[in-house]
Structure formats: C-alpha cells, structure tokens
Structure 1
Amino acid sequence: MNFSGSLRKLIRSFGYAFKGIGYATATQLNFRVHLVATLVAVYLGYALHISVNEWQWVVLTITLVLVTELLNTAIETLVDLVSPEFNKKAGRVKDVAAGAVVITALFAVINALFIFLPKVLILLHYAS
C-alpha cells in the first residue's frame, strides 16, 4: 500500500472513531452527563486559574471517565448483540463494565474536591 492509500485508511479510521463518539453522545445519557461535567470542570479550571499540574490531573480525569464510558457502551452493545435475551452472565458483564465507570467517576469527584474545593472555599471566605 502506498503513502496516499495509508493516509486514506488513517483518515477513515478517525472517521469511524468520531462516528463511535457520536453514537455514544446520541444514545447514552450518562455519556452526555459526563460531557456536561467536562464543560463544568474546564470552566471551573479556567475561572479558578488552576495550575498546570492541576490541569494535568483534570485532563487525565476527564479522559479516564470518557474512555471508560465509551468502553462501557461498547461492552453493553456487544453483550446485547451476542445475548439479546436475558442471560445472567451477560448481565454480570454489563454490571462489571458499569462498575468500572462508577469507580472512575468517583476518582473524578475526589480529584475535583482536591483541586476545586480549596479554591472555592477561599473565594467564599473572601466573599463573606
């Protein structure tokens, strides 16, 4: 395969990736909730002038939550495909994948508390 064919294949693969993100956004309420939380975190980071190190944690946390939610969506879709009727083990797979999202979301909340809460408390102290 020549360079131009490889480049077309690469561009096409990005198209598939964005199609997957679009699918998750259109069909998964939790993914949309995480996107809103992302906007809130970015706004707070900007408004509170967080440090570069804190931005690294915020970006890492956002990435982990969104990736975990996308993987959960992929697992749920695959499970529904291979086991359309109720199956106890299929349900367990979906529950475990959802558990991974919950753990990642708790990590996000803890990071948010460490990064944003002290700055908000300082603002509230000066406001009173």
Structure 2
Amino acid sequence: MEEKHKFSIVDRIKSFKYAFNGLKLFFINDHNGRVHFFAAIAAIALSFYLNLSSLEWITILSVISAVFVAEILNSAIEKLADVVSPNYHPKIKIVKDLAAAAVLVAAFLALMAGAIIFLPKLF
C-alpha cells in the first residue's frame, strides 16, 4: 500500500521549480513555442498601444494562454510518443496529429479573437 505523505511547503516549492524548468525547456527547445512567444509579445504590445478595456485584455490573455497550453501539451505528447515508439508507427502519427490539431484550433481562436478586438480599433 502506498504511504501517505504529509503536506510539505518545501515539496510545493519544488513543484514550482519543476514547472518553471518545464517552461524554460519549452522555450529553449521548441521552435513553435518561440514563434508563439513573439506573437504573444506583439499582441500584448498592440493591446497596450490600443488601450484595451479590461474585458478585451482578459480575452487576449486567455487566448494567448490557451495557445501556450496547447503547444506545451503538444510538445509533451510528441516527446512521450517518441520514447514509446521511436520508429514510425501509424497510431503514434495519429496521436501526434491530434495534438497538433489542438494547437491549430487554439491558434485559430486566438487569431479570430485578435481580429475581432484589434481590427475595428486599427481601422
């Protein structure tokens, strides 16, 4: 039977360390992560420039976060799939394609939200 561990502040702090390390690895090793990062910086800069409302800020930050979450999960799934099946496997290809599709859906949502918010203010 598994032994129950007491709550530990040190363990909670370590979990943040691991999460920040994951972000660091993501931005260092993932080309698409860097592309999304620069797009996010551009969207945030444009948001400041256009003086967005609170609701518009929440929308922009939410869709940026959704893209990052989808891309990070996609990267994790791809890395795990490469360990499980280093050689080509049709079912692993399906898993990778589905994970990539999640990023595409999130990016499309971000693009549409950005267009709805930014285009009327720019034109």
Deviations 1:10-54 (A, max 9, x none): 110011111111111111111111110110111000000010010
Residue 2 of structure 1 and its aligned partner are, at CA, apart by 6.1
CA RMSD after TM alignment = 1.1
Partner of 1:125: none
Query: What TM-score do you get using the length of structure 1 for normalisation?
Result: 0.90
The answer for the alignment partner of 1:126 in structure 2 is none
Q: How does 1:70-89 map to 2 (within 5 A)?
A: 70-89=72-91
Supply the distance in 1 between the matched residues of 2:89 and 2:6 (Cα, whole angstroms). 47
Of 93, 115, 119 in structure 1, the residue corresponding to residue 95 of structure 2 is: 93
**What is the match of residue 69 of structure 1?**
71
Aligned length: 119
Quick one: which amino acid aligns to residue 31 of structure 1? G
Match in the other structure for 2:22? 20
Q: Deviations over 1:49-85 (max 9, x none)?
A: 0100100101110110000000001100110010001
- Structure 1 residue ranges, 4+ long, deviating more than 4 angstroms after superposition: none
Q: Partners of 2:93 and 2:22 in 1: how far apart?
A: 23
Inter-partner Cα distance in structure 1 for 2:6 and 2:26 = 33
Instruction: Determine which structure has the larger helix proportion and give its number.
Output: 1
Identity %: 41
Distance in 2 (CA, whole Å) between partners of 1:2 and 1:112 is 45
Structure 1: state its 5+ residue gaps: 122-128
The one of 92, 101, 104 equivalent to 1:102 is: 104
In the alignment, does 2:59 pair up with 1:57?
yes
